[in-house]
Copies of this chain bind each other. A is one copy, B any other.
Amino acid sequence: MTRQQDSDIVETTLDSKSVYEGGFLKVRRDTVRLPNGRQSSREYIVHPGAVVVIAQPDDDHVIMVRQYRYPVQRVILEFPAGKLDAGEEPLTCGQRELLEETGYTAQDWISAGQMHLAVGYSDEVIHIYFARDLTAGKAQLDEDEFLNVEVMSVGSVLEACRTGAITDAKSLTCALWLQNVRSGKWGI
């Protein structure tokens, strides 16, 4: 949402190079021209994008997963989510990830906007979907992937956001959507 009056804060790319390419993370360092004409550098993760799914077996419940998230050294309670494969459409990714992680398939998929996860150091965009009219099935986890599926009431999820049992930013964002769509304040 760049406005006319934002021209005083925009940065311009002068140079861009890859500075780290690991098995998982890719880092670039760009040289930029600042609004005052000086130069600076910007380092950031290049990410393929992701999808998070608010899957509702009924109006009062959602499918959650518990997953060990190594960077924060703890089990995180979160909405099912995953990264886009190369060239994959967000909807296809959401359908694939929901099936793989939870075993559920859904007849009804509704897009509910996007979030930027870490604007300071990543280009990651996460696409948010509501999935409804669910059918339970068998999860299809990779051999080296481990998570537990939990059906939770919407009330419990919101309470978990308040108490700190949910601390994952993408999931807290999903809770905002869930609360407002469920109350009828936000249409999708």
Residues of A within 8 A of B (CB): 1-3, 5-6, 8-11, 19-20, 22-25, 27, 29-30, 32, 34-36, 38, 40-45, 66-78, 113-126, 143-144, 146-148, 158, 161-162, 164-165, 167-170, 172-173, 175-176, 179-180, 186
Contact A118 B169 (CB under 8 A): yes
Contact A172 B115 (CB under 8 A): yes
Copies of this chain:
2
Given A9-B146, A76-B119, A114-B164, 16 more A-B residue pairs with CB atoms under 8 Å apart are A1-B75, A2-B74, A3-B75, A6-B66, A6-B68, A6-B75, A24-B41, A36-B146, A38-B144, A42-B71, A44-B71, A72-B116, A113-B164, A118-B169, A126-B169, A162-B180
Contacts of A118 in B (CB 8 A): 71, 117-118, 122, 124, 169
Contact B116 A67 (CB under 8 A): no
Contacts of A168 in B (CB 8 A): 115-116, 119
Contact A143 B36 (CB under 8 A): yes
Q: In angstroms, how far is the closest chain B Cβ from the Cβ of A165?
A: 5
Contact B176 A119 (CB under 8 A): no
Contact B75 A10 (CB under 8 A): yes
On whether A30 and B70 interact (CB within 8 A), knowing A119-B76, A173-B172, the answer reads: yes
Contact B43 A24 (CB under 8 A): yes
